[in-house]
Amino acid sequence: MTITQVVKATDGSVICLLVGWKILNIFEKHNIKTLGDLCEYSEEDLLSLPQFGIKSLNRVKQELQTYDLKLPAKIIKVNFKNKVWK
């Protein structure tokens, strides 16, 4: 069964994603409420969420494509705190 999840884009506009209950429950569990929240997750990040598999990923990507949106590439966080530059 497909349901509509209404999310707000970073600019405040409202976008509807047609996703199933499973995806909606996963998003709610991980506090993914806006496109800004979703865009903090790469494909790898989403696939690492429990119960979120390839079918769920493909569904989310398909819905994002309707709005010409994509998930971000894997973001590598670097700690420069103790780095010595030469």
Does residue 45 belong to any structural domain of this protein?
A: yes
Does residue 56 belong to any structural domain of this protein?
A: yes
Euclidean distance between CA atoms 27 and 34, whole angstroms: 10
CATH code assigned at 41: 1.10.150.20
Q: Cα 81 vs. chain centroid, distance in angstroms?
A: 28
Amino acid 24: pLDDT = 82
The alpha carbon torsion through 2, 25, 42, 40 (nearest 10 deg) reads 120
How much is the average pLDDT of 34-52?
88
Q: How many domains does the chain have?
A: 1
Does residue 71 belong to any structural domain of this protein?
A: no
Amino acid 14: pLDDT = 46
Does residue 82 belong to any structural domain of this protein?
A: no
Residue 37 in this model has a pLDDT that exceeds 50: yes
Work out the number of other CB atoms within 10 angstroms of the CB of residue 27. Answer: 23
Range of the domain at 57: 2-65
Amino acid 7: pLDDT = 57
Question: pLDDT higher for 54 or 7?
Answer: 54
Amino acid 68: pLDDT = 82
Does residue 83 belong to any structural domain of this protein?
A: no
Residue 1 in this model has a pLDDT that exceeds 60: no
Euclidean distance between CA atoms 70 and 32, whole angstroms: 16
